[in-house]
């Protein structure tokens, strides 16, 4: 496989790839970074638009990478080889698998996904979650549990950051993710849709396994350190808690999400 070789740090493809590690670069270019073989496979499976790909020159002969590169080339996606040192500058991980995809960001939208005739709505709202790893893990669980969309308030980590994308294990390419700057407008959308609003709190009205969840609903998950904002606490119709052993202070928000989303899925016969 004879790929074009880039050797200069000043090459436009390398410069854009390096810029995608920060939000400003992603916003400016309209692209984000998908690093690793699993994410590349998910991008191809989802037919996600990819502008181009960068391959570590020393890894391009590996069978799995060769297969992925062939798939990209069949889609007429430009693929370039880089020397290891230059590739490392574009990579966001210490031990990269040798393949980076520069993928197009989705178009911005604040329209909730359409109602599905086969079952009730099922959404998650993340309020100011700051850790991209937690956000990515929640995306991964939400996709697996059949959630219709992830709604993000202002102050959340960027779901298209390299760390969040990796933690999502491809869910960022499958799950509708919507960012809302106006909380009042978002709440109005949820109410117009007829969604029951459930808040995950330390001291709730229901235990997680007794709450009635077989109805159109949205789960509220608060920031790691401070929980839900006063606005969303007031907006919730019900609150739900997870029991913990004496002395245990709290659960990681991604772990909490996994329990609550699968409790919901179970009541719906998922």
Q: Which DSSP string do the residues of 81-145 spell out, in sequence order?
A: EE-HHHHHHH-SSSS--SEEEEEEPPPP--PPPPPPTTS--EEEEE-S---HHHHHHHHHHHHHH
**pLDDT computed for residue 117 by the predictor:** 80
Q: Which residues of the chain have pLDDT under 50?
A: none
Residue 246 lies in a domain: yes
One domain, residues 202 and 243: yes
Query: How many residues can be counted in the chain?
Result: 270
- pLDDT at site 147: 97
Residues 85 and 213 in one domain: no
Which pLDDT belongs to residue 267? 95
Scanning the structure block, which residue is given the tokens 């939208």?
109
Last residue of a domain, one of 75, 104, 133: 104
Taking only the tens place, the pLDDT of each residue in 147-183 is 999 999 999 999 999 999 999 999 999 999 999 999 9
**Residues 88 and 143 placed together within one structural domain of the fold:** no
Residue 202: its pLDDT value, please?
Answer: 87
pTM of the model: 0.94
Residue that is written with structure tokens 């659960």 in the block = 251
pLDDT the model gives residue 173: 98
Examine the domain organization and report whether 132 and 255 are in the same domain. Answer: yes
Domain boundary among 72, 104, 136: 104
Are 263 and 133 members of one domain?
yes
Q: With respect to residue 29, please indicate whether it lies within any of the assigned structural domains.
A: yes
How many structural domains are present in the chain?
2
């Amino acid at each position: 496989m004879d790929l074009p070789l880039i050797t200069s740090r000043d090459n436009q493809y390398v410069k854009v790839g390096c810029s995608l590690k920060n939000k400003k670069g992603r916003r400016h270019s309209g692209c984000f970074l998908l690093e690793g073989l699993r994410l590349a496979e998910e991008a191809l499976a989802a037919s996600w638009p990819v502008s181009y790909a960068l391959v570590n020159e020393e890894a391009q002969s590996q069978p799995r990478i060769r297969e992925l590169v062939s798939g990209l080339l069949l889609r007429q996606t430009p693929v370039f080889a880089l020397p290891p040192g230059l590739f490392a500058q574009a990579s966001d991980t210490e031990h990269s698998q040798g393949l980076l995809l520069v993928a197009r960001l989705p178009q911005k939208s604040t329209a909730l996904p359409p109602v599905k005739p086969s079952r009730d709505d099922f959404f998650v709202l993340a309020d100011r979650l700051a850790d991209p790893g937690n956000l990515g893990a929640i995306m991964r669980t939400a996709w697996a549990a059949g959630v219709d969309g992830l709604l993000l308030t202002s102050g959340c980590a960027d779901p298209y950051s390299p760390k969040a994308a990796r933690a999502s294990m491809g869910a960022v390419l499958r799950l509708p993710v919507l960012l809302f700057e106006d909380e009042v407008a978002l709440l109005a959308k949820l109410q117009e849709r007829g969604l029951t609003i459930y808040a995950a709190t330390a001291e709730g009205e229901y235990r997680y396994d007794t709450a009635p969840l077989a109805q159109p609903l949205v789960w509220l998950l608060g920031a790691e350190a401070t929980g839900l904002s006063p606005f969303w606490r007031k907006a919730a119709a019900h609150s739900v808690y997870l029991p913990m052993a004496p002395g245990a202070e709290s659960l990681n928000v991604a772990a909490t999400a996994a329990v609550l989303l699968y409790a919901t899925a179970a009541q719906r016969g998922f």
